[in-house]
């Protein structure tokens, strides 16, 4: 007998476990899992982190322009993340290379569409607008010192220009910023 255990993390605290003892039933369970993932995606908001060098495009530039097309991303992982960004989801705005800190919160106002900076239809862009500047910017050093953030993509995959942020990571960074 072959046993397959599938864990599906619904939230930071809720996980569902499926034990599949009959591989003939595996396809049915996979469909259930896909359905549950879809339900989770519909009922919960994701959080993101977008990086920009302040000398190229800063938080102040975003505030001045009131919204922008987040384009020009040419990393495959970041492209997948951009395709998953939904209208209304919040995005930490991170200054990279200079300042290296999270300085503000933006919001997705238009979901993935053809990146206007290329004719290659595989690349996408999203539109974001500023929501608020953080009371206290959160530096990369402060993030690295926080033990609960050691698995954050910003720490583990530092070169990724657009990345997901978990609910708990969002909450901790907001606390570090003196928010909420």
What digits encode the pLDDT tens for the residues 116-145?
Answer: 999 999 999 999 999 999 999 999 999 999
pTM: 0.77
CATH fold of 47-176: ph1033 like fold (3.10.590)
State how far the Cα of 71 lies from the Cα of 68, in Å rounded to an integer.
9
Residue 41: predicted pLDDT: 46
Residue 36: predicted pLDDT: 52
User: Is the CB of residue 104 less than 8 Å from the CB of residue 93?
Assistant: yes
3-state secondary structure 82-93: HHHCCCCCEEEE
Tokens describing residue 138: 């959160």
Extents of the domains making up the chain: 4-43, 47-176
Residue 143's contacts (CB-CB under 8 Å, 6 or more residues apart) are: 102, 149, 152, 154, 155, 173, 176
- Residues in the chain with pLDDT values less than 50: 1-3, 10-15, 19-23, 35, 38-43
The three-class DSSP label of residue 138 is strand
């Amino acid at each position: 007998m072959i046993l397959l255990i599938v864990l599906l993390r619904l939230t930071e605290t809720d996980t569902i476990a499926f034990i599949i003892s009959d591989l003939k039933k595996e396809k049915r369970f996979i469909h259930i899992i896909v359905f549950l993932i879809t339900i989770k995606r519909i009922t919960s908001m994701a959080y993101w982190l977008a990086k920009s060098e302040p000398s190229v495009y800063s938080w102040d530039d975003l505030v001045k322009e009131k919204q922008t097309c987040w384009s020009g991303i040419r990393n495959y992982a970041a492209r997948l993340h951009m395709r998953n960004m939904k209208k209304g989801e919040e995005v930490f705005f991170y200054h990279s290379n200079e300042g290296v800190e999270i300085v503000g919160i933006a919001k997705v106002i238009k979901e993935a569409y053809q990146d206007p900076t290329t004719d290659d239809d595989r690349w996408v862009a999203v539109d974001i607008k500023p929501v608020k500047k953080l009371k206290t910017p959160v530096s990369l050093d402060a993030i690295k010192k926080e033990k609960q953030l050691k698995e954050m993509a910003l720490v583990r995959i530092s070169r990724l220009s657009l990345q997901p942020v978990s609910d708990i990571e969002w909450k901790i960074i907001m606390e570090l910023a003196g928010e909420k």
